[in-house]
Amino acid sequence: MIFPGAIAADAFGRRFRYLRLSVTEVCNFRCTYCLPGGYRKSGPMDFLGLDEAERLVRAFAQLGVAKVRLTGGEPSVRKDLTQIIARVSAQPGVDKVALTTNGWNLARHLDEWTAAGLTNLNVSVDALDRDAFHRITGHDRLGDVLAGIERALVLPLKTVKMNAVLLRDGLADDFSSWTEFVRGRPIAVRFIELMRTGDNKAFFEDQHVSGAVLRHWLERHGWTTKERGGDDGPAIEFTHPDHLGRIGLIAPYAPGFCEGCNRLRVTARGQLRLCLFGQGGRPLRDLLQADDQCEELKARIVGALTFKPAAHGLHSANPGDTRSLAQTGG
């Protein structure tokens, strides 16, 4: 019996109020660090349908999840993304519906997604220079992506963030274009240290830049770390009195990164992943076929949590069986 309102916890006492749900493995971009050859079909494209996604989120919400992030692949290639947002947002207990997107069609659809219940938006933008953006993503669409971000800033979203992977390419140890970007915009830019995946070994060795490079640059330019709140994710945030926006750093190789882990992941095919860099998944899809399977589904999730590892194996260059983040939902 699972008590209503109880928050599921793992063997290390970590509680999970945050679910990242991948809605597709498909992506239309070819980011050098993720899908350099573009998306290649592996097996049938039978990603979770609307009813399955709704049942899944209902069960997690009953186990205490309050925030659901939709990710992928590129979630916005799904034609029914607006309906997915609406169904997730309608679940009792869910108070934040977030989306991570490469932003290619943001300007066109963001109003409709926000009206459906989207509350938090993360847009991946790896460079503010048009050529570098084109080179990294395979698409000359920086203008469209930035237009979408400008639209986001006038809509009633709780947070608008940008994600940039720290890469040698396009960086040149100078972050001033980014700090200028956030001077007058209330936006958080979060740099993510490049993570090693099964598919990017050589690229990683060539392009990985330590988060310390960013930290030292910011400190030299008058940025200071923000006081951390209890509900904060893994990013360290920096602020500056002359800038409305913030700069963040997500450094998965830093000590203690996994201790505050508050998230669970479900893949687009309905596998529960206990760690982004874990081994294998626990199938949930067979229990997403009818509304009356909810109790059994919750019991399976709670049982699986006891196997969540204390930390990922990235320090020993072990990315689990994660070939790319597009495949598991980054």
66-74, 151-159, 172-180, 239-247 -> range binding ligand SAM (CB under 6 A): 66-74
Work out how close the CB of 62 gets to ligand SF4 at its nearest, in angstroms, rounded to a whole number.
Answer: 30
Is the CB of 8 or the CB of 160 nearer to ligand SAM? 160
The secondary structure of residue 313, as a DSSP letter, is B
The tokens of 242 are what? 């002359």
Instruction: Check binding of 102 to ligand SAM (CB under 6 A).
Output: yes
Binding mask 258-297 for ligand SAM (x = CB under 6 A): ----------------------------------------
What is the footprint of ligand SAM within residues 221-250 (CB under 6 A)?
none
Is the CB of 202 or the CB of 290 nearer to ligand SAM? 202
Is the CB of 10 or the CB of 74 nearer to ligand SF4? 74
Q: Tell me which residue has its CB nearest to ligand SAM.
A: 330
Which residue ranges make up the site for ligand SF4 (CB under 6 A)?
27, 29, 31, 34-35, 72-74, 102, 124, 326
- Among 116, 120, 70, which residue's Cα sits nearest to residue 90? 116
Is the CB of 84 or the CB of 287 nearer to ligand SAM? 84
34 backbone dihedrals φ, ψ, rounded to 5°: -120, -65
Three-state SS for 2? Answer: coil
What is the footprint of ligand SAM within residues 34-53 (CB under 6 A)?
34
- Which one of ligand SAM, ligand SF4, none interacts with residue 35, CB within 5 to 8 A by kind? ligand SF4
Work out how close the CB of 38 gets to ligand SAM at its nearest, in angstroms, rounded to a whole number.
Answer: 13
Q: How far from each other are the two terminal CA atoms of the chain, in whole angstroms?
A: 32
142 backbone dihedrals φ, ψ, rounded to 5°: -55, -40
Is the CB of 100 or the CB of 105 nearer to ligand SAM? 100
Residue that is written with structure tokens 């939902």 in the block: 329
166 backbone dihedrals φ, ψ, rounded to 5°: -70, 110
Q: What is the DSSP string of 155-216?
A: S--SEEEEEEEEBSTTTTT--HHHHHHTTSS--EEEEEE----TT-HHHHHHHB--HHHHHH
Count the residues of the shown chain that bind ligand SAM, applying the rule CB under 6 A. 20
d(CA 292, CA 175): 53
12-20, 100-108, 278-286, 289-297 -> range binding ligand SAM (CB under 6 A): 100-108
Please enumerate in sequence order all residues whose Cβ is within 8 A of that of 187, keeping only pairs 6 or more positions apart, or say none.
149, 153, 160, 161, 162, 181, 245, 246
d(CA 135, CA 91): 40
Is the CB of 1 or the CB of 202 nearer to ligand SF4? 202
List residues near ligand SAM by CB under 6 A: 27, 33-34, 71-72, 74, 100-102, 124, 163, 165, 192, 194-195, 197, 200, 325-326, 330
